[in-house]
């Protein structure tokens, strides 16, 4: 009772203090108004925060963090909320720090090929703002019209072009980060390296656990004069997988190399009419970019490789419209699957590419075992697999079953030498498979890294790295999976 009163007091004090920092229109406390913030792109998890705060400047973010630190209030940072692992899921006892009002492009330096932006700027807005200079920002997650650059940094996001152009970590130079106690930290610089530890690398992909990214200096690239796409159909996914290995082993580094299985192909074809061969077991989309002469040469070579690997058909997009149409299908793969199923669950494992055939066979076995359909979309060039599990949350128990299937697929990825998340992050979703991937000592070291920057664990507490106690619980569930409880007692 007493503590409940105390809670209310702290909440009121917090609201009053935050209000004086950001103004009345930038603090949300009303339950109905809090609803839109209750989840990110992983909608199965929902929670209302104590309140949402929407600062408009670095100075305001610093004051908000100082206040929360002093009062011991957890802070969850939110960009655009498109994350797929629950990273921006609110903490019921904490503040949700939404950065959507910090969305200015502060400066563009065409000579240095950089842009300095606030964290709430969307990924695509950067490329649009510099297009007239012949420049663009390379990482292009499929969510690029909506996701924020701050979120991209926090997740180290990739896109279909990261085989050649890298992930977020390869395309940023400097970050301004507000630490949990409200200090302003600059990591990286306008130069290509910095003295001391590589904190820029540490911050990238740290899922809002180590600090709040409040400014990003991104690298820009020159728009390649020519980009071309070749599509190939195969009568088995294994063959398509071998074709991918042959292209890369053959010394070609495509700008993008994507695969879809037959189920994904037909979902997409029904939705956007991309012109995909619906009778194929798998298709590959391979994009090459650069100088016209170079691209022409390489497209021809890739086509030859595909044919020699047993492609049942190849199609080169001759013009911009066809190329866009080919890509539109890949980019619409998630919503297309969303159309044919009430719900879908996107898995994000990475595997060594040579294991693709084996992994897909296993996934299809698991799919039968669980009675849930799975469509596969694959960043084939870099081994990042996105099985989409189709389910209906309205059927009792189906979500749990889906999550279990997801876990089994991720276990498989770890077993073959891969990882439980290629680009979507751990968040709350992959805490359990993290226990499989890492030894206790490594998880413990992660906690110590966290403690070095956030000793009281106020930033996004409980996410990204499982506690050893939780892993022990999961381990227990593990042993019992598929067995009757206490089956060992039957002997008596």
Partner 1 sequence: MADNDLKGEFLEIVRSAFERSEKLRIEGSGTKSFYGNPVVATPLDVSRHSGIVSYEPSELVITARAGTRLSEINARLAESRQMLGFEPPWFGGQATLGGTIACGLSGPRRPYAGSARDFVLGVSCISGKGEYLAFGGQVIKNVAGYDVSRLMVGALGALGVICEVSLKVLPQPEVETTRVLEFDKETARAQMVRICKLPLPLSGMSFWGGLLRIRLSGTENGVRAAEQTIGGETDETGVEYWHQLREHELNFFNRNQSLWRLSVPATAPVLGLGDDCLLDWGGALRWIYTDHAPQTVFQTAKKMGGHATMFRPDNGWPNGRFSALDEPSKGIHMRLKSAFDPKGILNPGILYAYV
Ligand X SMILES: Cc1cc2nc3c(=O)[nH]c(=O)nc-3n(C[C@H](O)[C@H](O)[C@H](O)COP(=O)(O)OP(=O)(O)OC[C@H]3O[C@@H](n4cnc5c(N)ncnc54)[C@H](O)[C@@H]3O)c2cc1C
State the residues that interact with ligand X by CB under 6 A. Answer: 40-41, 76-84, 87-88, 99, 119, 141-143, 147-148, 150-152, 154-155, 157-159, 207-208, 212-213, 334, 423-424, 460
Q: Which of 97, 302, 434, 435 binds partner 1 (CB under 8 A)?
A: 434
With beta carbons less than 8 A apart as the criterion, state whether 106 and 117 touch: yes
Residue 426: contacted member of ligand X, partner 1, none (CB under 5 to 8 Å, by partner type): partner 1
Site string for partner 1, 339-368 (x = CB under 8 A): -----------xxxxx--------------
**Contact call for residue 308 and partner 1 (CB under 8 A):** no
Residue 282: other Cβ atoms inside 10 A: 26
List the interface residues with partner 1, window 107-136 (CB under 8 A). 109-113, 134
Residue 147: contacted member of ligand X, partner 1, none (CB under 5 to 8 Å, by partner type): ligand X
Site string for partner 1, 33-72 (x = CB under 8 A): ----------------------------------------
Distance CA 31, CA 48 (A): 8
CA distances from residue 127 to 8, 218, 222, 417 in whole angstroms, order as listed: 45, 11, 11, 35
Q: Which of 35, 70, 104, 291 binds partner 1 (CB under 8 A)?
A: 291
**Contact call for residue 475 and partner 1 (CB under 8 A):** no
Residue 40: contacted member of partner 1, ligand X, none (CB under 5 to 8 Å, by partner type): ligand X
List the interface residues with partner 1, window 209-268 (CB under 8 A). 209-210, 222-225, 245-246, 248-249, 251-253
**Contact call for residue 156 and partner 1 (CB under 8 A):** yes
Residue 452: contacted member of partner 1, ligand X, none (CB under 5 to 8 Å, by partner type): partner 1
Name which of 27 and 76 has its Cβ closer to ligand X: 76
Q: Which residues touch 380 (CB under 8 Å, ≥6 apart)?
A: 240, 241, 244, 257, 258, 259, 284, 353, 356
Any long-range contacts for 129-137 (C-beta under 8 Å, 24+ apart)? 129/105, 130/220, 131/223, 133/108, 133/220, 134/222, 134/223, 135/110, 135/220, 135/221, 135/222, 135/223, 136/220, 136/221, 136/223, 137/171, 137/218, 137/219, 137/220, 137/221
Q: Which residues touch 233 (CB under 8 Å, ≥6 apart)?
A: 277, 279, 280, 282, 283, 311, 312, 313, 314
List the interface residues with partner 1, window 176-215 (CB under 8 A). 179, 183-187, 189-199, 201-202, 204-206, 209-210
């Amino acid at each position: 009772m007493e503590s409940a009163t105390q809670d209310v007091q702290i909440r009121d004090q917090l609201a009053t203090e935050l209000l004086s920092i950001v103004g009345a229109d930038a603090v949300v406390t009303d339950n109905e108004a809090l609803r839109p913030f209750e989840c990110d792109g992983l909608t199965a998890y929902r929670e209302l925060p104590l309140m949402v705060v929407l600062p408009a400047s670095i100075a305001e973010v610093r004051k908000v963090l100082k206040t929360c630190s002093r009062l011991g209030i957890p802070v969850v940072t939110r960009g655009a909320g498109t994350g797929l692992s629950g990273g921006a899921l609110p903490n019921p006892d904490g503040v949700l720090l939404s950065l959507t009002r910090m969305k200015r492009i502060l400066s563009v330096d065409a000579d240095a090929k950089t842009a300095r932006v606030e964290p709430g700027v969307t990924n695509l807005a950067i490329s649009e703002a510099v297009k007239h200079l012949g420049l663009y920002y390379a990482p292009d997650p499929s969510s690029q019209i909506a996701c924020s650059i701050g979120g991209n940094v926090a997740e180290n996001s990739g896109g279909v072009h990261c085989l050649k152009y890298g992930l977020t970590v390869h395309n940023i130079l400097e970050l301004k980060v507000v630490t949990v106690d409200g200090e302003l930290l600059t990591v990286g610089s306008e130069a290509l390296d910095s003295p001391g530890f590589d904190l820029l690398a540490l911050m990238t992909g740290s899922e809002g656990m180590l600090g709040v990214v409040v400014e990003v200096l991104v690298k820009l690239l020159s728009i390649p004069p020519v980009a071309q796409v070749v599509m190939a159909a195969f009568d088995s996914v294994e063959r398509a997988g071998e074709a991918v290995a042959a292209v890369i082993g053959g010394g070609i580094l495509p700008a993008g190399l994507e695969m879809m299985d037959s189920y994904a192909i037909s979902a997409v074809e029904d939705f956007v009419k991309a012109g995909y061969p619906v009778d194929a077991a798998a298709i590959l989309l391979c994009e090459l970019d650069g100088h016209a002469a170079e691209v022409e040469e390489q497209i021809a070579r890739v086509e030859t490789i595909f044919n020699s690997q047993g492609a049942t058909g190849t199609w080169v997009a001759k013009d911009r419209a066809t190329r866009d149409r080919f890509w539109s299908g890949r980019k619409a793969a998630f919503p297309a699957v969303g159309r044919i199923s009430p719900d879908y669950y996107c898995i994000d494992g990475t595997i060594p590419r040579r294991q693709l055939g084996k992994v897909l066979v296993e996934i299809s076995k698991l799919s039968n075992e669980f009675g849930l359909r799975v469509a596969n979309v694959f960043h084939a060039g870099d081994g990042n697999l996105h099985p989409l599990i189709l389910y209906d949350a309205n059927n009792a128990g189906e979500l749990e079953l889906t999550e279990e299937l997801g876990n089994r697929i991720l276990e498989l990825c770890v077993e073959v030498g891969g990882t439980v998340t290629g680009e979507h992050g751990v968040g709350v979703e992959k805490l359990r498979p993290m226990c499989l991937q890492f030894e206790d000592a490594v998880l413990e070291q992660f906690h110590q890294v966290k403690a070095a920057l956030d000793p009281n664990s106020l930033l996004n507490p409980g996410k990204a790295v499982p506690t050893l106690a939780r892993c022990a619980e999961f381990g227990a569930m593990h042993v019992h999976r598929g067995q009757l409880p206490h089956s060992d007692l039957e002997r008596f």
